Structure 1
Amino acid sequence: MRILRHLLLAAAIAPAIAHAAPKMKPAARPVTSFFPQLDLGRFLADNFDLASVRSSLAPRRTPDLRTFADFGMLPTNSGDDGVTFDGERWLYQLRVVRRADINNDGIEDLEVCFTDRAKGASYDASQSLLVSRYSDETYAVALRYESEACGPAAKSSPARTRTIEVK
Structure 2
Amino acid sequence: MINAGRGIPCALAFIAGCSLAGQATETDRIFNAGLQKAFQNHEQTLEKQRPPLRFISGTTVETCREYLAKTETEAVAEGVDNRTVSGEYLVCDSVAALNQGKKTGGIQYSPESYGKQLMARLDLRTFSSSLGPRVTDEQYTLADLALDAVDHSRFQVVFDSKNWHFALEVVASRDLNGNGRDDWLLWLVDEAKAGNYRDYEVLVAYDVGSSGPIQVEPFSP
Relative to the length of structure 1, the TM-score reads 0.62
4+ runs deviating over 6 angstroms: none
Q: What amino acid is aligned across from residue 100 of structure 1 in structure 2?
A: R
Q: What aligned pairs does 1:1-150 form with structure 2 within 5 A after superposition?
A: 30=105, 35-73=109-147, 76-133=150-207, 136-146=210-220
Structure whose residues are more often helix by fraction:
2
Distance 1:119 1:129 in 2: 23
Q: Which runs of 5 or more residues in structure 1 are unaligned?
A: 1-27, 148-167
- The 3-state SS of whatever aligns with 2:142 is coil
Query: How far is the alpha carbon of 1:58 from its aligned partner?
Result: 1.4
C-alpha contact (below 8 Å) 1:75/1:83 kept by paired residues: no
**Change beyond 3 A, Cα 1:142–1:29:** closer
Q: Which has the larger radius of gyration?
A: 1
Q: Which runs of 5 or more residues in structure 2 are unaligned?
A: 1-102
Query: How far is the alpha carbon of 1:145 from its aligned partner?
Result: 2.8
- The 3-state SS of whatever aligns with 2:147 is coil
Distance 2:132 2:202 in 1: 18
C-alpha contact (below 8 Å) 2:104/2:182 kept by paired residues: no
**Change beyond 3 A, Cα 1:64–1:32:** farther
**Change beyond 3 A, Cα 1:29–1:47:** closer
Q: What amino acid is aligned across from residue 94 of structure 1 in structure 2?
A: L
Structure whose residues are more often strand by fraction:
1
Give deviations 1:36-77, integer Å, cap 9, x for gaps. Answer: 421110110111000010011112221112111111025654
Higher RCO (Cα < 8 Å, 6 or more apart): 2
Relative to the length of structure 2, the TM-score reads 0.48
Give deviations 1:6-64, integer Å, cap 9, x for gaps. Answer: xxxxxxxxxxxxxxxxxxxxxx874665x542111011011100001001111222111
Query: How far is the alpha carbon of 1:131 from its aligned partner?
Result: 1.1
Distance 1:135 1:97 in 2: 16
CA RMSD of aligned residues (A): 2.3
Give deviations 1:108-152, integer Å, cap 9, x for gaps. Answer: 0110011111111110111110012466431111034326xxxxx
